Amino acid sequence: MARGPDEPLRVGVLASGAGTNLQALLDTVHGEEALVVAVAADKPAAEALRRARDAGIETAVFPLTDHPDRGARDAAIAAWLHHHDVELVVLAGYMALLTSPFLSRFPDAVVNVHPSLLPAFPGVRAIEQAIDYGVKVFGVTVHFVLDDGGVDTGPVIVQGAIEPADATDPAAVHAALRPLEHALLPRAVRLIARGAVSRDPDNPRRILVAATEAGDDTPARPRPA
């Protein structure tokens, strides 16, 4: 579906848990530059589903046990997202790896938020990896997901860093990183929706952000209690 110049970017979100990053999108870009039109989870009890339903957004659950294998499950998710004319897929705490056929249906249109300064500490337990390594600076990366066989290897869209006081407790570090996740993910979606993100023709791994948008830190609307 071709999007008109004044129409919001149609976003589908995949989540596995609490959905706080989904909530950040709903509180900021939803209904403005972007429109979250579909939210799917791999776990029926994912709190993200309730958040979506409360916002009047279509939801679906795709447990792996309902499908012959991961490829079949991913094909079902992709078909459901296409049915909702999704243009950008956001992985907001989605804990399952996506297969190649899924990614090939959404080329350069899947983004993920990861709790490290990639390329450092990719994959699972990123915060624990960083603590074990003894780093002092922790961060968040929003990046494109590529069909390259790697994990967290896609080009970086935006990043941010903090130096938490307690850098030995994974839960404390994650809590300190959450506000950064909730700021950077909507910013990345906003930039993509505005057409401000492109690949560097001299280095396809490098993402260029239009100069007029690079400093856009539009504050989020206050969240309801």
Give residue limits of the domains in the chain: 9-209
Distance CA(86)–CA(189), nearest Å, equals 13
The catalytic residue among 114, 143, 174, 182 is 114
How large a percentage of the chain has pLDDT more than 90? 85
Distance CA(86)–CA(90), nearest Å, equals 10
Give residue 6's pLDDT band: very low, low, confident or very high (50, 70, 90): confident
- 3-state SS class at 110: strand
Residue 222 pLDDT exceeds 90: no
Catalytic residue flag (residue 83): no
pLDDT digit string, tens, across residues 60-112: 999 999 999 999 999 999 999 999 999 999 999 999 999 999 999 999 999 99
Give residue 150's pLDDT band: very low, low, confident or very high (50, 70, 90): confident
What are the structure tokens assigned to 112, written together? Answer: 């993920």
CATH entry 3.40.50.300 includes domain 9-209: no
pLDDT of residue 3: 59
What are the structure tokens assigned to 63, written together? Answer: 């447990």
Q: Report the amino acid identity of residue 86.
A: V
Cβ neighbours of residue 70 closer than 8 Å, sequence gap 6 or more: 64, 96, 97, 99
